[in-house]
Amino acid sequence: MLKDITLGQYFPTGSLLHRLDARLKIVLVFALIFVTFITKGALAFAMLFAFIIIIALLSKVPLSLYIKSLRPMVFLIVLTGVLNLFVTPGEVVWSLWFLSVTREGLILAGYMFCRIVLLIVTSSILTYTTSPIQLTTAIEHLLRPLRIFRFPCHEVALMMTIALRFIPTLLEETEKIMKAQQARGADFSSGNLIRRARAMIPILVPLFIGSFRRADELAIAMEARCYCGGEGRTSLNILKFGRQDLVAAVICVGVIGLIVGIKA
């Protein structure tokens, strides 16, 4: 299960999406997420789904990785669908004792399934095609207007990117700890809920200790390189909004506007 979590990983394939401005990608991803939650109708969802699949194909990242990113969320997707099936009032199409499935519940469950899947895939496209350094710089640029309120834009962007960057590292370390404990006879799959929770203690303790150690090493490394915050710092890689970014923005805005305008 831990190997299926790909959040925070970057896959450099040299595609067109990789070459786009990171600021544009962040804005478009948030726009697509917003459209995902306001879209209604089968035709609109079909167009949105097709558009996001096309974007995923343009990234040249294998579709198997996008499917892999969905596996850890299967429980949430199923739970959301089941809840919408049985708690949505409307025309009953099937019933058993106190449980009943309505036509409106089926439609709402389908919409929620599509929304969660599209949300995960869209977020994965951003992390798969944007390096942590580009993400940091882009987030800092987008937060710059908040400087008038003395908001620490650089520090917040750096913390967000470091947290995202270390997700794969922590997952890998968790897997190593679990294998080491299983080699010593630990059992994480049998027993009741309380027993399984207690079995996780030998994993959580060394994981927290290792996380604090990594944080301390990272802080020392940053201090050794004379890091003192974002004040007066310059970027090695300057973000430039080029012609291909403008074309991509126009196409995405046009498609999003078309999807939002569809009422069917």
- Considering the domain architecture, whether residues 223 and 163 belong to the same structural domain is answered as yes
Residue 168 counted as domain residue: yes
- Considering the domain architecture, whether residues 218 and 250 belong to the same structural domain is answered as no
- Considering the domain architecture, whether residues 244 and 123 belong to the same structural domain is answered as yes
pLDDT of residue 190: 72
For residues 255 and 51, the answer to whether their CB atoms sit within 8 Å is yes
- Considering the domain architecture, whether residues 14 and 44 belong to the same structural domain is answered as yes
Residue 140 counted as domain residue: no
Residue 147 counted as domain residue: no
Q: The tokens of 192 are what?
A: 């009741």
Please state, in angstroms and rounded to a whole number, the distance separating the CA atoms of residues 61 and 212: 33
Number of domains in the chain: 2
- Considering the domain architecture, whether residues 13 and 106 belong to the same structural domain is answered as yes
Residue 21 counted as domain residue: yes
Please state, in angstroms and rounded to a whole number, the distance separating the CA atoms of residues 218 and 77: 36
> Residue 102: beta bridge partners?
92
Q: Give residue 7's domain range.
A: 1-130+239-264
pLDDT of 47 > 60? The answer is yes
Residue 138 counted as domain residue: no
Residue 146 counted as domain residue: no
- Considering the domain architecture, whether residues 229 and 162 belong to the same structural domain is answered as yes
pLDDT tens for 99-151 read: 777 777 788 888 888 888 888 889 889 888 988 778 878 888 888 888 888 88
Going by pLDDT thresholds of 50, 70 and 90, the confidence category of residue 241 is confident
Give the global pTM: 0.75
pLDDT tens for 208-222 read: 888 888 888 888 988
- 248 compared with 164, residue with greater pLDDT: 248
Going by pLDDT thresholds of 50, 70 and 90, the confidence category of residue 249 is very high
DSSP code of residue 98: T
> Which amino acid is residue 110, in one-letter code?
G
- Considering the domain architecture, whether residues 35 and 107 belong to the same structural domain is answered as yes
Residue 139 counted as domain residue: no
Q: For residue 237, what are the contacts with CB-CB under 8 A and spacing of at least 6?
A: 133, 134, 137
- Considering the domain architecture, whether residues 41 and 112 belong to the same structural domain is answered as yes
Going by pLDDT thresholds of 50, 70 and 90, the confidence category of residue 28 is very high
- Considering the domain architecture, whether residues 4 and 88 belong to the same structural domain is answered as yes
- Considering the domain architecture, whether residues 6 and 123 belong to the same structural domain is answered as yes
Percent of the chain's residues with pLDDT above 70: 91
- Considering the domain architecture, whether residues 247 and 221 belong to the same structural domain is answered as no
Give the containing element (helix H, strand E) for 94. strand 92-96
- Considering the domain architecture, whether residues 257 and 217 belong to the same structural domain is answered as no
